[in-house]
Amino acid sequence: MAAKKNISIYLLAFFLFAGGVGFMMWSALSENATYHLNVAEAVEIPAEKLKSARLFGVADGDIVKPANGLGASFTLRDLEKPQHAIYVNYKGALPDTFEKGAEVIVEGRMDGNAFTAKTLMTKCPSKYEKSSREKV
């Protein structure tokens, strides 16, 4: 009788584990998955299919900031293929390092011909460059 009870517990644990793994796989492969793209790749995907994406690029010099200081509209250019660009609209606090030529990561979705970003991050080059004082 005790062995039958132990088997039931093990079967229940197995099914709970399998269900959890199945749910994680389903959520990872669902339509809500975020694409990680550079601008050149994003330009080639139809807007209706780009519902959630994280784009990498460089902020162009046409940055327009509203009077309240929150957000910006600008052109995001591809790092390696600067002829590819997407216009970005962002409403929110801007990082201090956001300026013309900054490497930018935006996350959001396409709305017609523009990308509406819900998050905006900049790469800080000083963190990734070796100091001249460091020995190689």
Q: Which single residue is written with the structure tokens 């995907």?
A: 45
| Domain co-membership, 25 together with 65 | no
Residues 91-132: pLDDT tens digits?
Answer: 988 888 888 888 999 999 888 888 999 999 988 655 545 544
- String of DSSP letters for 12-68: HHHHHHHHHHHHHHHHHHSTTPPEEEEHHHHHTS-GGG-SSEEEEEEE-S--B--TT
Residues 12-41: pLDDT tens digits?
Answer: 888 898 888 888 877 766 655 666 788 888
The pTM of this model reads 0.66
Q: State residue 49 phi and psi, 5-degree precision.
A: -95, -10
| Domain co-membership, 17 together with 62 | no
> Would 117 be classed as within a structural domain?
yes
| Domain co-membership, 5 together with 55 | no
Residues 44-100: pLDDT tens digits?
Answer: 888 777 788 889 999 888 888 888 878 899 999 988 888 989 999 999 888 888 888
| Domain co-membership, 50 together with 5 | no
Q: How many domains does the chain have?
A: 2
Q: How many CB atoms lie within 10 A of CB 60?
A: 17
| Domain co-membership, 105 together with 64 | yes
